[in-house]
Amino acid sequence: MRAKPPILHASPLFVALLLAAGCAVDTSALPGQDGSAGSCLDDPNACDDGVDCTRDSCSAAGVCTNTTDDTLCGGSEVCDELAGCLAETSCVAADCRDAAENPLGCQLGVCQADGTCIGESTCEAGETCCGDGNCMDCDDNNPCTEDSCDSSGCVHLPLDGTDCSDGMFCNGSETCSAGTCMPSTDPCLGDTVCDEGSDRCVGCTGDSDCPGTTTTGWSTCRFEGDATCDETGRQNRTVTTYACMGEECVPTDSNEGRNCNRETTGASCGSDMVTGYTACNYGGNTCANSGSRTRQRTIYRCSGDSCGSSTSTETDTAGCARNTNGTSCGPTTTGTWGECMDFSGTCDESGTRSRTDTEQVCMTGSCQSRGNTVTGACARSTDGTSCGSDTVVMGTCTAATADPCSQAGTMTITTTSYACASGTCTGSDSMETASCTLDPTLGNACGTLPCAGTCNAAGSCDYGSSNGDQCDMDDPCAGVCDEGTCDVEAANGFTCDDGIDCTGDGSCASGVCEMGGEQCSNMAGDCGSPGCNNGSERCDCVTTDVPTGVCGCVPR
């Protein structure tokens, strides 16, 4: 008994072919596929899965990845991880393998050249599906057993009473007993001798000395036409008769046939055919998280002597499960922009504004409204907008006239105003002239020297302090001050001084200062001590330099 291993181990280049043919592949035996670090680092071809449209790579940890890439296929083809590039509507190996799978019947789905998906047997020639997914070769080469299998393994039922042959002529016609081919007696009769080498009885004198007619066991029942469903077949056996010829019993073989029957009703007579699934049906509900899809399965079973087919619809829901949360399920209503705000300052012209858009999105299987705040930029013009308080600077109050006794004055007032211009706060100046009052002028000098006066409380110049003062320093009789004006000639009799200390005061006469007597006094000590000799000298001006004169003793 030989059991077929349920799992195959293949090299990377043949993995796709094995899978497409319906074989299960243990990819853990491939380099880098078992997840062990370094498995594919030393072999650049270790990750090649034999599929042209997958990108094969080996990670730093030594683990292979094979990612499908539709762009490596031509036109509208798509990449199948097992079969490579396929037309978008073609049978997909991975889907077909599962769709037409019948594990207990030893069937896997295999894509056909015409794009259909058919369940094909995984058993090899001479093997039988034992009903548990295992294919086994149960031929024990024993003609005395009927070989079959079930879920427990191979079964060999004894064929007691059935003709058999152990290959020995001289054992006579063998018969099965308890599963063993049992010998009979010597087939040679009378005085004949059995010759095993020639398979003949030697020494006969007539046919009566030869063995009787012998037969082989019936052959397996063979069915013509529809071999799967035919219930009436034929089986044959060989009939051997012996005739004495030249003292030897010479055998003559002939073929004998008979009808045989079996029950085939319900037996599989063809591979199941499965269509691809339809698109998932969600009942028109965009937000539905569950739906269903269908496919057609056609099976072939014997009925009477012919193979008949029946088609059924299979419904699947697991493949239509989805998560629609966040999926749009209706139009979005756009709200109105709010006020432009969030300016950094009075003159800032760039701000933000917001609005609330209402969108329809799927949530927990139903379409619900959800508000979404949208923020956008906005602008304004601030040109001319006041951005600060005015500042006023008062200038210095200056005399409005040349009169030193006047309190009337003027001053410049500078006003700075602040306004926005192109987003910036900018100041601009304006100036105006205003009247002002000077500090009191009482006591201030006024007029022109040497006839100047002082300002009085009435704001006019009072010249009383300079009236009568000499106003020509070179000639005291040339003029005197009169209400701030220098008269060109002093009045006659006006006391004058020639500026010489040793002469006395004089008086003006017609503009000339007439001096008085000498002013040197011996008694006053002008001529020193003890003074002049009064008998022969007198104290008088020795020099008359201006402004000082020198007293001294001069002869009388």
Answer whether residue 57 shows pLDDT above 90: no
How do residues 236-247 score in pLDDT, each as one tens digit? 989 999 999 988
pLDDT of residue 4: 31
Q: In whole angstroms, what is the distance from residue 16 CA to residue 84 CA? A: 8
For residue 194, how far is the Cα from the chain centroid?
A: 96
Give the Cα-Cα-Cα angle 139, 145, 148 (nearest 5 degrees): 50
Share of the chain above pLDDT 70, in %: 79
- The pLDDT mean for the chain works out to 80
Task: pLDDT band for 415, please (50, 70, 90 cuts).
Answer: very high
**Quick one: average pLDDT of 207-212?**
87
Q: Which among 185, 187, 186, 190 has a CA at the least distance from the CA of 206? A: 190
What sign does the dihedral 488-493-498-499 (CA atoms) show? negative
Answer whether residue 416 shows pLDDT above 90: yes
Task: pLDDT band for 403, please (50, 70, 90 cuts).
Answer: confident
More confident residue, 18 or 228: 228
547 touches 537 (CB < 8 A): no
What region does 32 belong to: left with phi over 0, alpha with psi -120 to 50, or beta?
Answer: left
How do residues 288-310 score in pLDDT, each as one tens digit? 999 999 999 898 888 878 888 99
pLDDT of residue 126: 74
Answer whether residue 15 shows pLDDT above 90: no
Answer whether residue 13 shows pLDDT above 50: no
pLDDT of residue 489: 66
Task: pLDDT band for 10, please (50, 70, 90 cuts).
Answer: very low
Contacts of 409 (CB under 8 A, 6+ apart): 397, 398, 399, 400, 435, 436, 437, 438
Phi and psi, residue 196, nearest 5°: -65, -30
Answer whether residue 456 shows pLDDT above 80: yes
Answer whether residue 111 shows pLDDT above 80: no
pLDDT of residue 11: 37
Q: What is the DSSP string of 68-86?
A: E-GGGS-TT-EEETTTEEE
How do residues 128-181 score in pLDDT, each as one tens digit? 777 667 888 888 888 888 888 877 888 888 888 888 888 888 888 888 988 888
**Quick one: average pLDDT of 406-414?**
91
413 touches 393 (CB < 8 A): yes
**Quick one: average pLDDT of 405-421?**
92
More confident residue, 106 or 99: 106
**Quick one: average pLDDT of 94-119?**
70
For residue 478, how far is the Cα from the chain centroid?
A: 111
pLDDT of residue 75: 63
Answer whether residue 189 shows pLDDT above 70: yes
Look at the block and give the residue holding tokens 């594919």: 40
More confident residue, 329 or 486: 329
**Quick one: average pLDDT of 446-465?**
83
Task: pLDDT band for 312, please (50, 70, 90 cuts).
Answer: very high
Q: In whole angstroms, what is the distance from residue 161 CA to residue 142 CA? A: 14
Per-domain boundaries in the chain: 2-137, 159-261, 413-418+425-491
pLDDT of residue 287: 94
Q: What is the DSSP string of 140-209?
A: -S-TTEEEEEETTEEEEEE-TT-EE--S-GGG-SEEEETTEEE-------TT-EEETTTTEEES-SSGGG
Task: pLDDT band for 8, please (50, 70, 90 cuts).
Answer: very low
Task: pLDDT band for 412, please (50, 70, 90 cuts).
Answer: very high
Answer whether residue 349 shows pLDDT above 60: yes
Q: Which one-letter amino acid corresponds to residue 127? A: E
For 419, other C-beta atoms within 10 Å of its C-beta total: 17
Q: Which among 541, 465, 472, 556 has a CA at the least distance from the CA of 512? A: 472
Task: pLDDT band for 340, please (50, 70, 90 cuts).
Answer: very high
Q: In whole angstroms, what is the distance from residue 1 CA to residue 138 CA? A: 5
Answer whether residue 46 shows pLDDT above 70: yes
Q: In whole angstroms, what is the distance from residue 68 CA to residue 54 CA? A: 4
Phi and psi, residue 6, nearest 5°: -75, -15
Q: In whole angstroms, what is the distance from residue 247 CA to residue 438 CA? A: 181
